[in-house]
Amino acid sequence: MSLTHEELLQALLNSYEAYYDIARVDDGSPLLATCDFHSTSERYVLTKKAKLWAAETNEYVFVFHVSELTMDSFARCRDLALERGMEKIHPHPEHMYSHITAILLCDAAQPDALELLERYKKSANFKLSLHGWMEYRIAAVDLSTAEVFTNRKGKELKKTLCQVIDFETKRKSGEEKKSV
């Protein structure tokens, strides 16, 4: 049983909604939604004025849909997520790291595009890492086979996506059994 991109998108957004700021996008591009996460940790001595340290972490998720993942569509989505993600990162002394995450939902995928995705690496250091760093994570979900492909930095993302796909597939099959 396969999922449509809209079903998987809704399941993904449901899994992100507790901790992320979610926005649907309808601008004619393959971008369907963005999810932003921000966290700040701080330690004090006696009062908030005596701050020992602070660390800010962020994640910017961009969810795309393409009917077929080709080299061109991969490059277009990858670059759009990188451009918009870098616009959101504002390095400063308390910035620890930010992840830019692109999730590509595709009805079919060409093997050469998947190979390029798996080899893709991108990171940045801000002021010799004194103002933190950025890592780019990318994943593609081939909806025809329900397989998940990621680059090296996106390995933990693969586990999350597989869990969402499994949960949504079981939920969908349970609904179909009830309606019969």
Task: State pTM to two decimals.
Answer: 0.91
- Residues 6 or more apart whose Cβ sits within 8 Å of residue 38: 56, 57, 58
Residue ranges in the chain assigned as alpha helix (H):
5-16, 71-88, 111-119, 155-179
Q: pLDDT (tens digit, 9 = 90+) per residue, 68-77?
A: 999 999 999 9
Determine the pLDDT at residue 179: 57
- Residues 6 or more apart whose Cβ sits within 8 Å of residue 179: none
Q: pLDDT (tens digit, 9 = 90+) per residue, 37-62?
A: 999 998 888 887 888 888 999 999 99
Report how far residue 130's alpha carbon sits from residue 95's, in angstroms, rounded to the nearest whole number: 8
Determine the pLDDT at residue 178: 63
The pair of three-digit structure tokens given for residue 116, joined into one six-digit string: 């390029």
Q: pLDDT (tens digit, 9 = 90+) per residue, 133-162?
A: 999 999 999 999 989 999 999 999 999 999
Least confident span in 21-25, 83-87, 91-95, 169-173:
169-173
What does the pLDDT average to over 61-67? Answer: 97
CA 19 to chain centre: 13
